[in-house]
């Protein structure tokens, strides 16, 4: 009887493990765009605009960034601009890590820009994704 109880316990443990694998959410796999440029280091002294080199997107693009620096409490804008104008703009205070714009659909040249306010001294690593 002891042997059959142990075998039943082992079978139950195995079926629970298999079941947890079957219903568990997908691991932390992150979808990555097919094309990536960068990272580009952008440094914006107070009152100036730092920008990445331009890239060309056939149909859509996204920018992702990490921002650090000093006096970030004064704020700064991160802009995603294309030939047809501003595609996305966000105003931040303080550092940002692993932040991305939404995907924007257009065709043409695009770049990321940083516009600091007041005494903000912004350092950014920026990735440009496109297809």
| Residue ranges making up the domain that contains 75 | 35-130
56 is a domain residue = yes
How many domains is the chain built from? 1
In a domain, 16, yes or no: no
| Closest among 85, 74, 20 to 44, alpha carbons compared | 74
In a domain, 120, yes or no: yes
Whole-angstrom CA distances from 106 to 19, 38, 53, 60, 114 are 44, 20, 18, 5, 21
Q: Decide if 29 is inside a domain.
A: no
Burial class (CB in 10 A: 0-12, 13-18, 19+), 94: exposed
pLDDT the model gives residue 127: 92
Taking Cα atoms as reference points, which of 47, 51, 40, 41 lies closest to residue 129? 40
pLDDT band at 38 (very low <50, low <70, confident <90, very high): confident
Quick check: 107 and 57 in contact, CB under 8 A? yes
What is the mean predicted confidence (pLDDT) over 23-49? 61
Residue 8 has φ and ψ, to the nearest 5°, of -65, -40
The answer to whether the CB of 118 falls within 8 A of the CB of 75 is: yes
Domain annotation covers residue 6: no
Mean pLDDT of 13-38: 43
Q: Which of 76, 41, 59 is nearest to 110 (CA)?
A: 59
Average pLDDT over residues 33-39: 69
Average pLDDT (17-30) is 34
Which one has a higher pLDDT value, 13 or 85?
85
What CATH code is carried by the domain that includes residue 100? 2.60.120.260
Residue 34 confidence class, pLDDT cut points 50, 70, 90: low
Residue 25, in any domain of the structure: no
Segment 75-115, tens digit of pLDDT = 999 999 999 899 999 999 999 999 999 999 988 999 999 99
pTM of the full structure: 0.70
The two tokens of residue 12 are 């139950």
Whether residue 4 is contained in a domain is answered as no
């Amino acid at each position: 009887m002891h042997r059959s109880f142990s075998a039943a316990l082992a079978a139950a443990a195995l079926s629970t493990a298999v079941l947890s694998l079957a219903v568990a959410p997908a691991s932390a796999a992150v979808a990555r765009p097919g094309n990536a440029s960068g990272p580009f280091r952008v440094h914006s002294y107070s009152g100036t605009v730092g920008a990445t080199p331009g890239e060309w997107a056939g149909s859509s693009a996204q920018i992702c960034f990490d921002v650090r620096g000093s006096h970030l409490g004064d704020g700064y804008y991160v802009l995603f601009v294309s030939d047809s104008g501003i595609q996305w703009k966000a105003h931040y205070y303080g550092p940002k890590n692993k932040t991305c714009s939404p995907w924007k659909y257009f065709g043409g040249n695009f770049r990321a820009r940083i516009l600091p306010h007041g005494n903000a001294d912004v350092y950014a690593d920026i990735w440009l994704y496109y297809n």
